[in-house]
Structure formats: C-alpha cells, structure tokens
Amino acid sequence: MTVTNLRPNMDHWAERVDLAAAFRWTARLNMHEAVANHFSLSVNEDGTRFLMNPNQRHFSRIRASDLILVDANDPRTLEGPDAPDPTAWGLHGGIHRHVPHARCAMHVHSIFATVLASLADSRLPPIDQNCATFYDRIVIDDHYGGLAFEEEGARCAALFDDPRKKVMVMGNHGVLVIGQSVAETFNRLYYFERAAETYIRALQTGQKLRVLPHDVAEKTARELEAYPEQDVRHLAELKAILDAEGSDYAT
C-alpha cells in the first residue's frame, strides 16, 4: 500500500507519487542518464503547469515531495530553488505549451532507444509483438540541432503533429515519449526500450529479419492500444514492490 501524504499542504500528491515511482523504476532498469534526463506531468487544464524533477537529482533518490512545479509560460521558473536546467525547460516547456495531448512527457537516453537513434535509418520494423506496438506510431527527428534549449525544444514539440504518434526517436540523442498519464507514458517508454532492444539484438545476428506484413502489424498495434488497464496495473505493481521494500519514494 502506497504511503499516505505526509505533507498535507502539498498539492497533486497522487500525481507526485506516480511520477516518483516512475523515476525510481527507470533508474532500476538502468534507463536513466546519471543526473540528467527528465520527466514531466501537467497538472492544470491547458497543460502549461507541470511537475518535474529538480535539477541534477538522481532518479533513484527522487521522492514525491522533491518534484517541482513549473509554469511553461513563466521564465522566472528558472530562478527558483532546484529550478530545471535550461534544456529540461526548453524541451518540456515546448511540449507542454504546444502539444495539448501530451499530459506527461518522459525523455531518456536509454541504451537501446539511443542506439536506434544513432542509426542512419531509425525506423523500428514490426519484427515482434512489442515492435508492432509502435507500428506507424513513431516520429523520427532527423534534424538534431544541439542541446534542447528553448528553440530546439519548440522545434521538437512541433513534430508531434499526429496524435497517433506518441514516441519520438530523437536522432543522435535519445527518445521522448508522451501520454495522458504517468502510467500510460511509463508503460509506453518501457515497451519501446524493450522493442528497440529486440530489434538491435536481431540486427546483431546478421540474419534476415522476419518482418510482419502491414495488415498484421497494424491490427496488432490497434489491439494493444485497446488492451484494458495494462498501463495502470503495471504502475500499480511497481508501486506495490517499492512499498514492500520500504522505499521512501512516496514521501
């Protein structure tokens, strides 16, 4: 059972707990990048106010109460305590200002997604069920322009113009995943990394790939999109494990 709110005056507690759990599990899966990378979650109707990790805090130490509240329309956010670094502000501010269907955004340099982003052809063919999940549902950014300061963040956000596509392979960089909730977004991030690993390891064999035909791949993707509650149950199980271990993520 998740620890109850020990700080009753802190808003958005349930959202904070979910996001903190996602940070902890991302670190456990070795999908983090030292004290870099960032997750965010909108907490107001238009999505411009959002929770995110404080600057330079390791994912494995983040607690619900550590998360900072950021206003994408207020540059003074960068002046506050534990303010996000300018790249986190640029990328997540751009997403939450310009992509209304992105309530949650997770950006990592996980190993296999980043290997995929480093290939001249960063497409993910549907060679298994996990890969088929993302069939025709990935944005590939071929125009890396350096660190994701505000201009670069706005450019990346503009690429999410198709609501069906909720994963961006950021060429020469990493991956950015969006969704409506922490559970949905983390589940998508987890399975994308697994799919990328399958594909990269398949390439390493040097054998011919067994690629699903278009109709089967599209059917599989739609079936998985409609699969009931997998994301919610996935996150609930991860929180249950953390709780059983006595983790302080929900404090």
Tally of CB atoms within 10 A around 244: 9
Residue 98 CB contacts under 8 Å (≥ 6 apart), including other chains: 154, 157, 158, 160
The tokens for 148 are 């994701």
Tell me the CATH architecture of domain 13-244: 3-Layer(aba) Sandwich (3.40)
Q: According to the model, what pLDDT value does residue 139 have?
A: 98
Q: What's the whole-model pTM score?
A: 0.94
Judge whether 108 and 170 are in contact, CB under 8 Å.
Answer: no
Domain range list for the chain: 13-244
Cβ-Cβ contacts under 8 Å for 173 (sequence gap 6 or more): 109, 114, 117, 141, 144
pLDDT of residue 94: 92
Residues of the chain with pLDDT under 70: 1-9, 148
Q: What single letter denotes the amino acid at residue 186?
A: F
pLDDT value, residue 73 = 86
State the pLDDT at residue 5: 53
